[in-house]
Structures are given as structure tokens and as C-alpha cells.
A and B are shown apart, each in its own frame.
Chain A
Amino acid sequence: MNEIPDPGAGPAGRPEAMTAHQLTEQARALLDRRRVQQARALLARALKEYPDSTGLLVEAARADLIDGANDEARDTLQRVLSLDPDHPDARWFLFNLELGSDRLEQAEALVLGLLRDWPESAQFYAGYARLMLRALMFPKARALALEALRRDPDSDDALRASALCDIVERPGANDSVALARLVASNPDDMYTMRLVVAALANASRDREAHALARELLRLQPDDPGLLELVRALRAQTHWSLLPLWPMLRWGWYGSIAMWIAALALLQTLRQVAPGAVGWVTLFLVVYIAYSWVWPPLLRRWINR
């Protein structure tokens, strides 16, 4: 297998390149711990000294990505690629950026290029699987996830791609082997735990999903996506929605079953207790109005 070169390393024996490499490592460590402001300050100083250090530029792009400054990150990554067109980290980050920006064709070109240069990389196969899932091309996504696992059965990226395929393909897939292995090997990893939340929510186990998402938010309180997820699950599990349980549990199928049951009840009452029909109809009208009006109001109240 071709080794992926260390993006921060410069030519051996040049002390200034080593220093740039050390600064890159420091910035990377800060960004790994989400200390973005400190990393930015360090990168600003370092880039004054080494403006063409591809390693420092990639970490600067990573800081932009964490802050959601996608355009700035894209410009920086393009600059890295103008200095070093084969830079693997720059190509990989750019792939993730294009994928997140819904520029799927560009993302595919990048990941195919990476796979041409590193055909044994489970990480790149897994990335391509995520892209295919995003493009709603499930058979290819599954085949790529399997290929990633074949290359490296213990790769977290491959297991994540496989777990995502499980969640999408099987209703109520909270028994995904890939997800179980991920949790066993990375019990503290945020992304893994978010996958568990998604699997629980997909299996309509909203209370457990809400409890876990709340714990994750305590660990990462500045994550807007997580906050939105917790709010949505909180609304979904609020006590005032208990009367809507069949709809919450089975979605529109539950609503259809309720409609058929209500029709059958009314017709039966017309035969056996005509005096009760008016009251039951009134109750059903109030129930339907509540089911349409209250959930969006509750969501708005929780999001305020």
C-alpha cells in the first residue's frame, strides 16, 4: 500500500521546515481539542513566518471548516493544491467540504482521484460510501462500505459508513453490528454517539435517543446541530404529546389507522348508541385540531 505522506513534513534536514512541521502539529493538537481561537492565533503567527507551508495552510482551512467558514476554507485548500496538487489532506478536506456543500460531482471527482492514488485506503472508500448515501444511491454505498471494511475491518471510517448504511436500509436498525463495534471501540467518540442517537430515533426509541443526545450536548454545548437535535427530540417526547402516541410511534401509518378506527367507531355508535355520536364527533374534532395545532406550537416554544 502506498503510504499517505505526512502533510506537515518538509524536506528532511531543513530546520525551518521542521519548525513549520512542529507548528503544524501544535495547531492540529489544538484543533483536535476544539481550541479554535488558540489554534487561529498560533496559525496567524506561524503563517507570517512560513506563508507557503502546506501543513499550516491545511490546519488553517480546518479551523475555517470548524467555524463554518466554508468559502475561506475552500480558498485556502485551493491554495494548498496550487502549491502541492497531490496533497492528500487538502484533497480529503476539500472532498468533505464539497460533500457538505452539496457539490456532489466535485466531491466524487476528488474522492475518485484519492482512490486512484491510494487504492487501498479504507478511509477513502468509506468517504465515497458516504457520498453515495448522500446521493441516495444505496447499492453502491453499501458496496463501497463493504469494500472499505474488506480493506480494513477495524477502520472507524469503514464502520461508520457501514453503520450509516444499516440505519438507512433497515427499518428500526438499532441492531447494527458495525455500530455495536464502533461503540465498543470508541465509547467516547461524538460522531459514533450521534450515530447511536440516529439509530435510536430511526427505531422510534425517542426517549432513549433524547436522553443520549442531552448527554452529548452537555459534552459539546456549542454544537448547533446537536442543540437542534435535542430540541427536536425534546418536542417529540414531551408529555403533552402523549395522546398522539400512535402517530408519533408509527407516523402517518398510525394516523391512517386512527382514521379508520374513528370511522368504524362512529358507524358502530350510529347503530348502537346514536345519542353519543355528537359527543364523540366533537371529541374527534378537538383531537384532530390538537394533533395539528399543538405539536408545531410546542416546537416553537421549545426553540424560543
Chain B
Amino acid sequence: MASTNPDLLQPSLTSARVERSPYSQQAHVLSAFFGGPLSALAMSGINAYRLRRIEKDAPWLIVAMVLYLSFEVWLAIDPGGQDFVRWAGSWAGSNALTYVTRALALAFFAIGTVMHRREHTATDLMGLKRPSGWILGFGLVAGGILATTALRNLLQ
């Protein structure tokens, strides 16, 4: 009985193709919470790169990035966006915009982890070692805050 798919017996692993385990969900969620949507997307992109699936994830990462930038432009320039800021402020006070962008960042985290769910499950099931997320996490938080601040200053 021959193999139904002869490609199955072709080697798939070279040193460049061996997959690397993703950063933990904890590192991802904390980067998103404190660093904002840009940090969340950056961490998703880094995990996609580590898992060799950047081509697969690029469409949603680009859509999410465009969505976030459009949201910031809408808030800064469009009268409807400014009305939204005022409405949110009347309900949640001066931190309203922080809460909204944080919620957006957490939504991006949720999408990213759903996209990489199999990889996270397999990493835990197979007992693979994950890289430490401390240095990258701090870097992404600082970078995310700086980039968001610079973007808002630019738009104003």
C-alpha cells in the first residue's frame, strides 16, 4: 500500500524550519494592557514570525493596524470622533480614552491568541520551553506608549 500523499515522506525540518515556541499569553496580555494596541499587534507579529506563519497572519495584522490608525485619526480629526471622546468622558471620566484603547488592545490580544491557539496548546502539551517575555514585554510596553504618544501628537 503506497502512501496516499508522497509529500508526506519529504523532509520538512531544516535548522531554518524548526518551529520555535511562542511567547506566553501572559507576556502578550500584559504588553497589550500596558502598551496598547501597537504593543499587542507587535507581540502577535513576533509570535507569528517565531512560528513561521507570518504570511498567514499578515492580512489580519495589517487590517488590525489600519483599523487602529483609522480609529486614532477619527478621534483626532472627525467631529464624530470628538463627540465620541466627549460622550465617553461623560461616562468614564478623564481616563475614558485610555480605557477604550486598552479594550481595543485586549481585543487584538484575544484575536492573536485565538489565531495561535493550536501552537499554545501544543507548546504546553509537549512541555516545550517558552522564551522569557520580560525584556521583550518591557520593550514593547515602552515602545507602544512612545509610539501612541507620538501618533497622537502628530495628529493634533
CA–CA, A134 and B126, complex, Å? 7
Q: Tell me the B residues contacting A by CB distance below 8 Å.
A: 1-5, 8-9, 11-15, 18-19, 21, 25-26, 29, 51, 91-93, 99, 103, 106, 109-110, 113, 117-119, 121-123, 125-126, 128
Q: Is the Cβ of B13 less than 8 Å from the Cβ of A135?
A: yes
Asked whether, in the complex, the Cβ of A168 is within 8 Å of the Cβ of B122, the reply is yes
Contact segment of A7-15, A70-78, A139-147: A139-147
A115 in contact with B9 given A133-B126, A151-B1, A263-B99 (CB within 8 Å)? yes
Known pairs A255-B29, A263-B92, A267-B91; A147 contacts B13 (CB<8 A): no
| In the complex, A86 has a CB within 8 A of chain B | no
Q: In terms of DSSP, what is the predominant structure of the interface of chain A?
A: helix
Verify A202–B121 contact, CB threshold 8 A. Answer: yes
Q: How far is the CA of A115 from the CA of B10 in the complex (A)?
A: 11
Separation of A260 and B110 alpha carbons in the complex (Å): 14
Chain B residues contacting A244 (CB-CB under 8 Å) are: none
Q: Which residues of B contact A259 (CB under 8 A)?
A: 106
A150 within 8 A of B: yes
Bound Cα distance A132, B12 (Å): 9
How long is the Cα–Cα vector from A260 to B92 in the complex, in angstroms? Answer: 12
Say whether, besides A136-B19, A253-B110, A167 and B14 are in contact (CB < 8 Å): no
A253 to B25, CA, bound (A): 10
The CA-CA distance from A267 to B88 in the complex, in Å, is 11
- Which of A17-25, A27-35, A103-111, A235-243 faces chain B? A103-111
Q: How many residues on chain A are close to B (CB under 8 Å)?
A: 40
Task: Please list 22 pairs of residues, one from A and one from B, whose beta carbons are closer than 8 Å in the complex, sorted by A's number.
Answer: A105-B15, A108-B12, A108-B13, A134-B128, A138-B118, A138-B122, A140-B8, A140-B12, A147-B5, A150-B4, A151-B1, A167-B121, A167-B125, A168-B118, A169-B118, A202-B125, A252-B25, A252-B29, A252-B110, A255-B29, A256-B109, A256-B110
Contacts of A135 in B (CB 8 A): 12-13, 18-19
- Is there a chain B Cβ closer than 8 Å to A187's Cβ? no
A135 to B128, CA, bound (A): 10
User: Is A153's beta carbon under 8 Å from chain B?
Assistant: no
Indicate if the CB atoms of B119 and A136 lie closer than 8 Å. yes
Beta-carbon nearest neighbor of B20 in chain A:
A136
Partner of A143, one of B2, B5, B103: B5
Q: How far is the CB of B25 from chain A (nearest CB, A)?
A: 5
| B128: A residues at CB distance < 8 A | 134
When distances are taken between beta carbons in the complex, the residues of chain B under 8 Å from A167 are 121, 125
Contact check: which of A147, A168, A198, A256 meets B4 at CB < 8 Å? A147
A171 in contact (CB, < 8 A): yes
What is the minimal beta-carbon distance from B50 to any residue of chain A, in angstroms?
Answer: 10
- In this complex, what residue of B is CB-closest to A256? B106
A105 and B14 contact, Cβ closer than 8 Å, known pairs A168-B118, A202-B121: yes
Contact of A168 among B13, B110, B125 (CB under 8 A): B125
Kindly identify, within residues 217 to 253 of chain A, every residue whose CB is under 8 Å from any CB belonging to chain B: 251-253
Minimum CB–CB distance from A123 to chain B (whole Å) comes to 15
Q: Which of B1, B15, B91, B121 contacts A120 (CB 8 A)?
A: B1
Report yes or no: B13 in contact with A119, Cβ–Cβ below 8 A.
no
Name B26's closest neighbour in chain A (CB-CB). Answer: A252
CB of A205 to closest CB in B, whole Å: 15
- Return chain B residues, CB-CB under 8 Å to A138: 118, 122
**B109 touching A252 by the CB < 8 A rule?**
yes
> Smallest CB-CB separation from A106: which chain B residue?
B13
